[in-house]
Amino acid sequence: MSNQKAKLIIFTGPSGVGKGTILTDFFKKVDKNIVYSISSTTRHPRDGEINGMHYFFITKNEFENLIKEDAFLEYANYSGNYYGTSKKFVEEKLSENKSVLLEIELQGALQVMKKCPDAVTIFIKPPTFEELEQRLRGRHSESEEAIQKRLTAAREEIKNADKFHYVIENDIVESAVNKLIEIYDKETK
């Protein structure tokens, strides 16, 4: 049995800031007492995304049925699609004394902060807004309209960074990952 204090960790930051890259590296380096919560979404998979690994890709109808069944700890409509966190998964893992990391956008993060005041909250911000725009455009996966929606959401998200316990600037990925590991160790050990 580990002595770890299992925590719910909210990891939020604007689309394009590099959350995915940081988390891939983070999960390679940390112990096995923390798990990533795979969200459900109605967005279409991007090239290379795998159902059940990156997301559970479901229809709007399926998502709305899950809302009715109260299956989500939180959910949000972001940029025209639904995204949500499974309540059952989070509760099960915490009861097994595992920490759970939620990679979610701002509206969902605010819902979880209200419901779970003990959650550790981390906001990841870009060095500059211009850099974020470049990264979003560099992905070549979205239409101009979708990019504009994401940039509008990003402005709103960055304004709310001070609601989080920790703010990490993603300037150099390696140092952002190290900061995340430090926070995880401090909060759970």
The binding site for ligand 5GP (CB under 6 A) comprises: 15, 39, 43, 74, 76, 78, 83-85, 103-105, 107-108
Closest approach, Cβ 85 to ligand 5GP, in A, equals 4
Q: Which residue's C-beta sits nearest to ligand 5GP? A: 108
| Residue placing its CB nearer to ligand 5GP in the complex, 76 or 180 | 76
Q: Do residues 86 and 40 touch, judged by C-beta distance below 8 A? A: yes
Closest approach, Cβ 3 to ligand 5GP, in A, equals 30
Q: How many residues does the chain have?
A: 189
DSSP H/E element including 168: strand 166-169
| Residue placing its CB nearer to ligand 5GP in the complex, 82 or 184 | 82
| Residue placing its CB nearer to ligand 5GP in the complex, 15 or 33 | 15
| Residue placing its CB nearer to ligand 5GP in the complex, 33 or 42 | 42
* Residue-by-residue DSSP string for 52-103: TTTBEE--HHHHHHHHHTT-EEEEEEETTEEEEEEHHHHHHHHHTT-EEEEE
Closest approach, Cβ 2 to ligand 5GP, in A, equals 27
Interatomic CA distance for residues 80 and 10, integer angstroms = 22
